[in-house]
């Protein structure tokens, strides 16, 4: 018999009040401002924007504060908020070749035109705790150098000129949007890229690492990694022309991968692609490896059973809001489900014991 129960309302209210107090922490310590989070925890903000799939640093900072630093909870808050926004349209694809780069490196060409620009990177730091940050450190001051506006062309265009790498042919097929229509399998590359760029960084990182260790190996080199600001353009119907509606920081990674060649294609390099909101290079590199691994069918490679080659496995498990929702729901009341399980096991035990007694 199912008995409807009520109650717990007071307990829930008090739990929320307790949560709010714990979020604030020791009142003797100054409260953290969302502007401080936005400016000083920028990589956390970037991750929340990328996985929340909404570029708005102020909102991401607020979500991080509200979630007490739980970034997946913050992503959840951003995803919930974005569903309340009317969709004003879509922008024209960003021109990453026009990016104002703050970081741009190539692991394949030392003398790449445009140069190797290290930018604000953790690379080459010693990973030693800096105790001056605990005290009141000096205001840091980055040196500046004279610049002349010079183009920073994509590395792959040099390989493409000699036909040494597959072309990324211009194409204006409108991409499917998995926030609007359910994802269908097999998925297009456009759907895969959308799912991976908003997917969980840890999951995408582990999949990419698994390909490096041999589960769907693709022999990736980072042809180029670039981070910087890109203008966003959109056609405005009431104006009748396109205007810039803002600018966003993006991280782009292009990998250069081995390829044997086929009956129709001479041997040439292939490519994987990663593009994420904000300075987010671990995610962007991982994205390009997973993108390349998922292209096995299109490139006529063998399916080795590796998780990173398995489109359904990757796409259905990449979203951390879906994953955490399903995982964490099992802690919520399942009293009735469990009651039926309990009755079943009592019945089975009683039958088994009766049989044992009869046999003796």
Partner 1 sequence: MDKSPQMSSPAPAPMARPDWLGLLARSRPAHLAALMPDPLPDHHLLRAPEIGAVMLRGRAGATGAPFNLGEMTVTRCSLRLSCGTVGHGYVQGRDRSHALRAAALDALLQTAEGAALQTRILTLLAAAEAEARQTRAAKAAATKVEFFTLVRGEDA
Q: In what order do the strands lie in the sheet with 100-105?
A: 100-105, 220-236, 241-257, 270-277
State which residue, 5 or 85, has the beta carbon closest to partner 1.
85
3-state secondary structure of 116: coil
Q: How far is CA 208 from CA 53, 150, 342, in A?
A: 21, 33, 43
State which residue, 90 or 334, has the beta carbon closest to partner 1.
90
Pick out residues in 200-229 that bind partner 1 (CB under 8 A). 228-229
State which residue, 109 or 215, has the beta carbon closest to partner 1.
109
CB 194 to partner 1: min, Å = 5
Residue with tokens 């922490």: 25
By CB under 8 A, residue 54 contacts partner 1: yes
State which residue, 185 or 359, has the beta carbon closest to partner 1.
185
Q: Report the Cα 70 to chain-centroid distance in Å.
A: 16
Pick out residues in 266-305 that bind partner 1 (CB under 8 A). 271, 273, 275, 277, 291
- Site string (96-115) toward partner 1, x via CB under 8 A: xx--xxxx------xx---x
CB 225 to partner 1: min, Å = 12
Torsions phi, psi for 32 (to 5 deg)? -85, 135
Structure tokens, 201:
């960084």
Q: Report the Cα 237 to chain-centroid distance in Å.
A: 32
By CB under 8 A, residue 43 contacts partner 1: no
Question: How many of the chain's residues bind partner 1 (CB under 8 A)?
Answer: 84
Q: CA 5, CA 248: separation in Å to the nearest integer?
A: 50
Residue with tokens 């390009």: 288
By CB under 8 A, residue 50 contacts partner 1: yes
Q: How far is CA 40 from CA 44, 45, 175, 350, in A?
A: 9, 9, 35, 63
CB 268 to partner 1: min, Å = 13
State which residue, 66 or 102, has the beta carbon closest to partner 1.
102
State which residue, 216 or 228, has the beta carbon closest to partner 1.
228
In the list 32, 72, 94, 107, the residue contacting partner 1 (rule: CB under 8 A) is: 94
By CB under 8 A, residue 87 contacts partner 1: yes
Pick out residues in 339-358 that bind partner 1 (CB under 8 A). none
| Contact present, 282 and 308 (Cβ < 8 Å) | no
Dihedral (Cα; 237, 239, 240, 243), 10-degree rounding:
-90
Pick out residues in 57-76 that bind partner 1 (CB under 8 A). 58-59
State which residue, 107 or 215, has the beta carbon closest to partner 1.
107
CA atoms within 13 A on the CB side of 167: 8
State which residue, 42 or 215, has the beta carbon closest to partner 1.
42
In the list 175, 215, 265, 307, the residue contacting partner 1 (rule: CB under 8 A) is: 175
By CB under 8 A, residue 86 contacts partner 1: yes
In the list 14, 36, 179, 262, the residue contacting partner 1 (rule: CB under 8 A) is: 179
Interacting residues of 336 by C-beta distance below 8 A, sequence separation 6+ = 2
């Amino acid at each position: 018999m199912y008995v409807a129960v009520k109650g717990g309302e007071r307990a829930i209210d008090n739990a929320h009040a307790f949560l709010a107090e714990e979020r604030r922490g020791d009142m003797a310590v100054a409260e953290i401002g969302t502007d401080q989070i936005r400016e000083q925890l920028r990589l956390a903000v970037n991750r929340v924007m990328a996985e929340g799939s909404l570029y708005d640093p102020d909102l991401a900072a607020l979500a991080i504060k509200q979630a007490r630093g739980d970034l997946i909870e913050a992503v959840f808050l951003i995803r919930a908020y974005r569903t309340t926004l009317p969709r004003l349209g879509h922008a024209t694809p960003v021109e990453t070749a026009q990016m104002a780069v703050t970081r741009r490196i190539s692991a394949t060409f030392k003398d790449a035109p445009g140069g190797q620009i290290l930018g604000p990177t953790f690379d080459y730091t010693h990973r030693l705790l800096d105790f001056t940050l605990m005290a009141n450190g000096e205001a840091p001051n980055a040196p500046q150098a004279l610049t002349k506006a010079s183009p920073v062309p994509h590395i792959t265009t040099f390989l493409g000129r000699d036909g040494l790498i597959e072309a990324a042919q211009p194409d204006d097929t409108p991409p499917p949007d998995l926030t609007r229509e359910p994802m269908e399998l097999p998925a297009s590359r456009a759907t895969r890229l959308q799912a991976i760029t908003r997917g969980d960084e840890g999951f995408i990182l582990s999949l990419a690492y698994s390909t490096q260790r041999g589960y769907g190996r693709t022999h990736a080199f980072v042809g180029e990694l670039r981070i910087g600001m890109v203008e966003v353009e959109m056609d405005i119907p009431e104006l009748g022309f396109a205007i810039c509606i803002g600018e966003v920081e993006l991280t782009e990674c292009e990998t250069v991968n081995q390829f044997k060649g086929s009956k129709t294609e001479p041997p040439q390099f292939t490519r994987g692609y990663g593009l994420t909101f904000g300075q987010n290079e671990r995610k962007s590199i991982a994205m390009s490896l997973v993108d390349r691994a998922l292209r096995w069918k299109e490139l006529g490679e063998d399916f080795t059973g590796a998780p990173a080659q398995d489109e359904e496995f990757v796409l259905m498990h990449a979203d951390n809001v879906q994953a955490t929702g399903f995982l964490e729901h099992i802690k919520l009341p399942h009293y009735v489900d469990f009651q039926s399980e309990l009755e079943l096991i009592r019945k089975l035990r009683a039958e088994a014991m009766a049989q044992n007694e009869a046999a003796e």
